[in-house]
Amino acid sequence: MNLPVASRARPEPAVDTMTPSGRVRHFYQAYGLVIGSEVALPELEPTAPATPDLEIAVGPVDFPGAASQGAAAFRFEPMRQYLAWQAVGTFMISGANRIDVDPAPGIDDPLLAFPLLGPVMALALHQRGLLVLHASAIAVGGESVIFMGDKGAGKSTTAGAMIRAGHRLLADDVVALDLSDPGRPMILPGFPQLKLAADTAGAIRLEQADVRPQVHPQIDKAQHRLRAGFAAEAVPVSRLYMLERGERAAISPLTGGAALPAIIRFSYVTRFGRQALADDFAAAHLRQCARIAGRIGVSRLEVPAGLARIDEAVAAIEADLASGTR
């Protein structure tokens, strides 16, 4: 699938329009798409009005039985996927080009943006035929690195340290890979925001970032919107690292057949279980993961404990890329 890639040039100021529902329709670009949204998403890059590739609309969503399923409920059908959080709202993904949002009472746009730009967007991109990883991605010159790992492994921390070292963010949390050219898998640029815990932000000190206001007390990471240091063009995939804590910074390739299970494990759609891979999606998803495992592979990146030593991991990554070997 060949999706339009955002230009490196700074977008013209968006001219927002009013929808029949009385909400303002904003225009953004992310993941190579023009997005028309009735939810304000200042995290994204604005763009001039155009026919959207993805439409985000606000209105009633009929998700029968969602209230009886607890705080969170999901349902996956061939053409529609439903995600509901009692405290936030209900989201319906239709095909590959529309997301309907039904906010819970009293919920405003900043809180809606958290699931909308996380799991909801990830599933919408998955529906467009992209391989979506729960990861962070950084552009290093004409190359790129992807950081996968469990919660607390240091994905965003390592990405922040790479940005401080002069490299550029491609995506944080939701990393979308376009595999339409089998010989040249590409990372599509997301949007210029990095989520960092308070201690990490204090240690890394990204001077080119503005910290957005906290929208909920239970959200432990702050949103850092970059004024500079964002890669606005798609970049070929060069390295995939699975992060682990270690005594020293070290990189070692996963051997045998270990790369494929690692990619499957950190693909975003697997977070929702087998139900999210109905019909032909399971086989297609396996082929995508196998293609990346075979062409790029996965390496284990040991990140030293303690924020004071994070630059050791940055140096190891830069040396690994400079080596030119895989």
CATH of the domain at 307: 3.40.50
Ramachandran bin of 310, using left for φ above 0, alpha for ψ from -120 to 50, beta for the remaining angles: alpha
Domain termination residue (choose one: 94, 127, 160): 127
Q: Which residue has the tokens 């059908």?
A: 77
Residues 250 and 233 in one domain: yes
Instruction: Confirm whether 214 is domain-assigned.
Output: yes
118: nearest Cα among 47, 46, 41: 41
Q: How far is CA 251 from the centre of its chain?
A: 24
146 contacts 240 by C-beta, under 8 angstroms: yes
Residues 51 and 188 in one domain: no
What is the extent of the structural domain holding 169?
Answer: 131-323
Q: Tokens for 152?
A: 């607390």
Task: Please count the other Cβ atoms lying within 10 Å of the Cβ belonging to residue 60.
Answer: 9
Instruction: Confirm whether 9 is domain-assigned.
Output: no
Q: For residue range 67-82, what is the model confidence (pLDDT) as tens digits?
A: 666 688 999 987 899 9
Q: Tokens for 287?
A: 């082929």
Domain termination residue (choose one: 127, 155, 188): 127
Q: Point out which residues pair with 76 in neighbouring strands.
A: 81
Long-range CB contact pairs, 209-217, < 8 A, 24+: 212/42, 212/43, 213/110, 215/110, 215/111, 215/114, 216/111, 216/114
Side chain identity, residue 322: A
Q: Which residues of the chain have pLDDT under 70?
A: 1-21, 67-70, 217, 325-326
Backbone angles phi, psi at 135, to 5 degrees: -165, 180
132 contacts 118 by C-beta, under 8 angstroms: no
Residues 187 and 71 in one domain: no
Residues 186 and 86 in one domain: no
Q: Tokens for 51?
A: 């026919």
By DSSP bridging, strand 168-178 and strand 186-188 are antiparallel
76 contacts 278 by C-beta, under 8 angstroms: yes
pLDDT given at position 115:
95
Task: Please count the other Cβ atoms lying within 10 Å of the Cβ belonging to residue 326.
Answer: 11
pLDDT given at position 81:
93
Please tell me the distance from the alpha carbon of residue 206 to that of residue 160, in angstroms, as a whole number.
7
Residues 284 and 144 in one domain: yes
Instruction: Confirm whether 28 is domain-assigned.
Output: yes
Rounded alpha-carbon distances, angstroms, from residue 126 to 55, 59, 64, 73, 306: 16, 23, 24, 19, 35
Helix (H) or strand (E) holding 235: strand 235-236
134: nearest Cα among 237, 293, 240, 266: 266
pLDDT given at position 70:
67
Residues 111 and 135 in one domain: no
Q: For residue range 235-282, what is the model confidence (pLDDT) as tens digits?
A: 999 999 999 999 999 999 999 899 999 999 999 999 898 888 877 788
Residues 206 and 284 in one domain: yes
Three-state SS annotation for 109-142: HHHHHHHHHHHHHHHHHHHCCCEEEEEEEEEECC
Instruction: Say how many domains are in the chain.
Output: 2
Instruction: Confirm whether 155 is domain-assigned.
Output: yes
